[in-house]
Amino acid sequence: MNVIQAIAIVVLKEMVRRKDFYVLFIITALITLLMGSINIFRDQSIAGYLKELALLLIWICSLVIAISTTARQLYAEKENRTIFPLLAKPVSRAQLLLGKFFGCWIACGLALFVFYLFLGIVAASREHTLDVGSYLVAMLLHWGALAVVVGMALLGSIVFAAPSSNGTICFVVALGILFLERHLNTVALQTGGWLGNVIYGVYFITPRLDWAFEVREFLIFHNPMPGIVIWTQALLFYGAYAAMLLLAAWLLFRRRALNT
Amino acid sequence: MRAPQLSLLLLLVGCFALATQVGPRFDQLGSRREKDLLASTFGESRRLFANHFFIRSDVYFHSGYYPSIFDQPGGKKENHLAEHAGAKGTDHDEHSEHGEHEHGEHCDHGEEASFLGKPKDAMDAFTRHFFVSQHTHLTEKGTNSPREILPWVKLAAQLDPQKVETYTVGAYWLRQLNKNDEAEQFLREGLRQNPQSYEIALELGRGYFEVRDYARARNVLEMAMARWREQENNKPAEQQNIFAAAQIVNYLARVEDRTGNRDRAISWLGILKKLSPHPDEIEKRIEEVRSGKPLEAQPAESQRSR
């Protein structure tokens, strides 16, 4: 456990040193504040469009942080040849993967906290009220979904040859799931035949990142969030899916030669 | 002082002097530059974006309950926000004098309410907990809630100033939010962009009527009627926008009635009788006005907003 924790802390420190998060946060804050300064029929209490924009930017930034941070982890260790002394400690390959996973995931969580805090402040300054519980549930679901994304990028870093291809493929897959997943069953039924069956199969096996993505609308439109039982089930689903991806990554990584 | 520092100081002073000269001119060109920028950035595709943002305002009106392109075959195709604002004629209008859609607890939106249908599978049923799957309107969330649609309407108007519906719908909701001045300004902007639009003129007249500025209401509504005749009289009867004409004439009759011109009011009601799907009702009203009764109850003094 101490080994995993040590590796995770190294990943966290690396994220603090790198400029990715700061740049993305400043861009998000600038765009949101700029849009907030627009005069819309002299009404300063309109917040829906700002929340929608900020949440979209937060989702894009969080995906960029999660994928870019995770995708380069194993490549960097191999390229700098630090993976050899690391595994000679002794640190098992499973511990290395788990350490990298938790480091990246916790780093995403910290980034999300800052993003959602900013969003909460912007929304409260406009609406003069803040439903902290709803924001917390949205953030937890978002963080849960990022566990799957981090797991996916970690698996990709073993399957694909370079961090760039891994990052691009993970980003395309994640965006595809976010925007299309919910409608795949409708498309499958409309398509019919063997192709419809294939689409229905894809609908059932892909991780439901769209759940966390769609709850944004509850924040925007002031609708009640799903109950605790529902969102706990969703978090368990994300946890199980991330564990499955990690297991697949470990199965591929445990016998992989490190000099390639 | 050394030469480099002196040069720097001179450059600074020069820049400041130039800024005082150029700044005001740029400010004057500001609004034109903004439109040019939108046109050059988006080209003709800005109309598509404008349409998207106008639909987005409808999405907000329904608190996010809205069919996607995947649900469209069974979903709604008309902009409900526009119907609500009276910008389009609907079946409801035959029963509603002002063409406004009333939302009671028995309000049934038919196809719109059921576009999701029953859950297709267990996963679908669970997924419905995570997106807006119940039909509500912003108007049910407080009197000021509809203001959330305004940014999208404004953005749609900036991207496509020729889309008349954006102005009429925006002005309707601005008036609902007691922003009469902003509504008038928005419609005036729309009229500048679309000088031939009788729809915008009708909306402007409606606004003046509601704040009891009858002289301006008459001017604008008569202008609307003249433009309607210019544009619609050449069309075959079945293609004419009779709904808009009936609304213009109805308001003109009410303006004349309020200002005591009973003969003019009766004259407009005579025209309305030919346009209305319920001529008997209009005939009854004509008789009432002839007998000295007012066309409608006068608004209370406390309702005056101007």
pLDDT tens track for A43-72: 888 999 999 999 999 999 999 999 999 999
CB contact under 8 A, A230 and B152: no
Tell which wins on pLDDT, B81 or B285. B285
Nearest by Cα to B85 from B230, B251, B202: B202
Angle between helices A48-71 and A20-36 (to 10 degrees): 170
How many inter-chain contacts (A to B, CB under 8 Å) are there? 82
**Kind and range of the H or E run holding B300:** none
- Mean pLDDT of the B286-291 span: 87
pLDDT bin (cut points 50, 70, 90) of residue A161 is confident
Which residues 152-181 of B are in CB contact (within 8 Å) with A? Answer: 152, 154, 174, 177, 179
Which among B61, B69, B118, B131 is the top mutation candidate for probing chain A, defined by the most A β-carbons within 10 Å of its own β-carbon?
B131
Place of tokens 């059921």: B114
How large a percentage of chain A has pLDDT more than 90? 75
Residue of chain B minimizing CA distance to A184: B70
Chain B residue with Cα closest to A141: B130
Picking from A37, A40, A41 by the largest number of B CB atoms within 10 A of its own CB, the best residue to mutate is A41
**Could you count the other beta carbons within 10 Å of the beta carbon of residue A51?**
23
To the nearest whole Å, the CA of B225 is away from the closest chain A CA by 29
Interface test with B, best of A221, A229, A241 (most B CBs within 10 A): A221
To the nearest whole Å, the CA of B269 is away from the closest chain A CA by 36
pLDDT at B77: 52
Residue range of the domain that includes A29:
2-253
- Are A48 and B151 inside 8 Å of each other by CB? yes
Read off the pLDDT of each residue in B120-130 and give the average, rounded to a whole number.
92
Residue of chain A with shortest Cα separation from B186: A41
> How large a percentage of chain B has pLDDT more than 90?
40
If we measure between CA atoms, which residue out of A230, A27, A9 comes closest to residue A110? Answer: A9
Closest partner CB to A41 (pick from B63, B68, B150):
B150
Residue A258 falls within a domain, yes or no?
A: no
A21 touching B, CB under 8 A?
A: no
Alpha helices in chain A (DSSP H): 2-17, 20-36, 48-71, 73-79, 83-87, 93-127, 132-159, 163-180, 184-191, 193-205, 209-214, 216-221, 228-253
The reported pLDDT for the residue numbered A82 is 87
Say whether pLDDT at B127 is over 50. yes
How many domains in chain A?
1
B148 touches chain A (CB under 8 A): yes
Q: Would you say A161 and A175 are in contact if contact means Cβ atoms under 8 Å apart?
A: no
Residue B16 forms contact with A (CB below 8 Å)? no
Average pLDDT of B288-302?
69
Q: Is A42 on the interface with B (CB under 8 A)?
A: yes
Report B:178-207 residues touching A (Cβ under 8 A): 179, 182, 186
Q: Which region holds residue B14: left if phi is over 0, alpha if psi is between -120 and 50, else beta?
A: alpha
The ipTM, to two decimals, is 0.89
Question: What pLDDT score was predicted for residue B302?
Answer: 39
State how far the Cα of A243 lies from the Cα of A61, in Å rounded to an integer.
24
pLDDT of residue B85: 65
A39 in contact with B, Cβ within 8 Å:
no
**Whether pLDDT at B294 is above 90:** no
Residue A35 falls inside a structural domain: yes
Return mean pLDDT, chain B: 81
Name residues whose C-beta falls within 8 Å of residue A54's C-beta, 6 or more positions apart in sequence: A28, A32, A118, A119, A122
Contact B154 A42 (CB under 8 A): no
**Other residues' Cβ atoms within 10 Å of the Cβ of residue B120:** 16
Mean pLDDT of all residues belonging to chain A: 92
pLDDT of residue B297: 61
B135 touches chain A (CB under 8 A): no
In chain B the beta strands, taken as DSSP E runs, fall at none
Residue among B130, B138, B144 minimizing CB distance to A211:
B130
Structure tokens given for A209 = 């990142």
pLDDT value of position B1? 61
**Per the domain annotation, does A260 fall within a domain?**
no
Question: Does the pLDDT of residue B37 top 90, yes or no?
Answer: no
Contacts of B264 (CB under 8 A, 6+ apart): B256
Amino acid identity of residue A93, one-letter, is: R
- Among chain A residues, CA nearest to B146: A46
Residue type, A28: T
For B68-119, how does the pLDDT look when each residue is reduced to its tens digit (9 = 90+)?
Answer: 888 765 555 556 666 666 655 544 444 344 434 444 444 444 445 577 888 8
Residue-level pLDDT at B276: 86
- Residues sharing a CB contact under 8 Å with residue A227, sequence separation 6 or more, in sequence order: B129
Q: Tell me whether residues B127 and A208 touch, CB distance under 8 A.
A: yes
In this predicted structure, what is the pLDDT of residue B34? 63
Cβ(A199)–Cβ(A192) under 8 Å?
no
Q: Which residues of B touch A49 (CB under 8 A)?
A: 148, 151-152
Question: Is B141 within 8 Å of chain A by CB?
Answer: yes
Cα A229 off chain centre by = 22
A219 inside domain: yes
Other C-beta atoms closer than 10 Å to the C-beta of A53 total: 16
Tell me if A33 is assigned to some domain.
Answer: yes
Task: Give pLDDT tens digits for B236-268.
Answer: 888 889 999 999 999 999 999 999 888 899 999
Q: What is the pLDDT of residue B73?
A: 57
pLDDT tens per residue across span A204-215? 999 999 999 999
For the entire predicted model, the pTM comes to 0.82
Instruction: Kindly report the nearest CA distance between residue A75 and chain B, in angstroms.
Output: 36
Residue type at B292 in one-letter notation: G
Inter-chain residue contact A217 with B131, CB threshold 8 Å: yes
